[in-house]
Structure formats: C-alpha cells, structure tokens
Amino acid sequence: MSITVAAVSERGDRAVNEDAFNFVAGDGLGCFVLADGAGGHDHGDIASKAVVKEMLGAFSEQPAISKDVLQRGLDLARSSLDRERRFHEGAGRMDSTVACLLLDATAGRALWLQLGDSRIYLFRNQRAHLLTRDHSVLQSVIDAGLHRGSVRGAADRNRLYASVCAEEQPADMLSAEPLGVEEADMFLLCSDGFWDAVDEPLMEGCLRQSRNPREWLDKLFGEARPVGGNWDDNATAVAVWLGCKDETTFFGTRQDRGAEIV
C-alpha cells in the first residue's frame, strides 16, 4: 500500500504557532508526529518542536513498529524539554502534548502514543473512529459519569493531567495492541485547536467529497473557518492516507493561505 500525507497548520489569532508536526516515511514504514506546546513566555513553540524532533529521531535510529520505539522517543523528548527548561529563562512550565503514529503499510499494522489532548483518528469506510482519549480533567469527569456535556467548546477543556513532562504516564497513552490497517484507511493527527472547531460529522462529510488528503484538509479548514476571520487557536492537522491513488506528499502551512509541496 502506498502512503500519502498532507498537513496544514494555522496560527489563528494567537501571536505564535505553538503546534509542530513532521514525519519520516520510506519502504512502507512511517512515523508521524504532532505536538502542541505550552509553558508561557513564548516557549511553547520550542517545546513542541523539540518533542517532534526527538520522537522522529527515535524512529529513525530504529525504524520499527514497536512500543519500545515509542517509549524511547518519549524518554528522549522528556530529557530534551528538561534541558530546554534550564537553558531558557522563565521556561519552568515548558511542556507539550504529543500524538505519534507508527505505521507499517506493508505488514498492515499501526501503533500510537498520545499524551494530552492532541488526537489520533482512524477513518475506515469514511467513518470516524477516535483512537485516543483526551487526558483532560473535564474528559475524566465525563468518563466518570459526573458530567453529561462534551469537551468540545467547553471553556475548561485545556486543563490536562498528562503531558510529555508530567510525572503521571497513563496506561492508555500507548495503544494496547497493534491495529490492523486496510487499503483506503485514513489517519488524522490533530491539535485541540482543530478538533474543537471541526466535529466528526464534518470530518466524514468532507472526506466523502475528497479525492486525496490535500482536498480533504482544504475542505475542512475552509468549512470550519469563521466567516472573514481566523481560528481562535493554533490549528494543525496531519492526514495519512493508505493506498490513495494520488501518491504526492503534501506538506505545508497556511499562515499566508499558501501551501508548499515538497
């Protein structure tokens, strides 16, 4: 199966884009990472970039679909953020979410790691399946049956109890077993600024109208954009399509409404 990738990131109304993303792929293997930084004093962007770099580095050193690779990447990311905190003045709260997908298109397997409220979706037969669980206080209250609302649109949805640097590492941060993948499966990694504005019915509807990942993300970012305005938050999405006929890899940002193809 071929792998097609498209990615879009927008700063929105924020002064700095603290989302970061990147991937490495070849010979049917791929590692795809998205991180959403935090920490104040404009250090969130440094944190997210460091996390992405270390996760990809761990995979590049050992290109395998294994939990050991994911844990190694997380350990390296934690160490990197510890160093960055000491180097940058006022960066004591520097931290980041992370969503990392490992994919073997040849063997048809996927594994993932996620901390915080960045998400990974699987789209199969054009239906959305959320593979991760938000590590937010509000989501845990909902899971306990103490609140019937939704995290989407909630003012306190960003209160997290797990992140790259948090002492607690939830058991569900790693996928329990490898997921079998099929031709035409689509994965979506996205930051909370994106999924808060784009619900699952819109994701599915735009997917049915799209021929490739680039069209899909263009439709999603266009449909969810406030009329005449910007996103309230940084918004980033990475789409990974298996077996798509269009085998071009698209990789770009939309700060200036343009896209770079490499």
Comparison of pLDDT for 145 and 137, the residue scoring more: 137
Q: What are phi and psi of 85, to 5 degrees?
A: -60, -40
The model's confidence at residue 42, banded by pLDDT at 50, 70 and 90, is: low
Please write the tens of the pLDDT for every residue from 177-212: 999 999 999 999 999 999 999 999 999 999 999 999
Structural class in CATH, domain 3-242? alpha beta
pLDDT in tens, 56-86: 999 999 999 999 999 999 999 999 999 988 8
The CA angle 6-35-220, to the nearest 5 degrees, is 40
The C-alpha R_g of the chain, in whole angstroms, comes to 17
Question: Quick one: what percent of the chain has pLDDT higher than 70?
Answer: 88
Of the pLDDT bands very low, low, confident and very high (cuts 50, 70, 90), residue 250 is very low
Write down the mean pLDDT value for the chain: 86
Span 237-246, pLDDT tens digits: 999 999 854 4
* Confidence bin at 136 (pLDDT 50/70/90): confident
Backbone torsions φ then ψ of 80, nearest 5 degrees: -65, -45
Task: State pTM to two decimals.
Answer: 0.89
The arithmetic mean of pLDDT across residues 20-35, rounded, is 95
Q: What's the rounded Cα separation, in Å, for the pair 30 and 206? A: 25
| DSSP secondary structure letters along 17-40 | --EEEEEEEETTEEEEEEEEEE-S
Give which of 47, 57, 4, 55 is closest to 234, Cα–Cα.
Answer: 47
pLDDT digits (tens, 9 = 90+) for 216-236: 999 999 988 766 677 788 999
Write the pLDDT tens digit of every residue in 85-95: 887 776 678 89
Q: Where are the domains of the chain?
A: 3-242
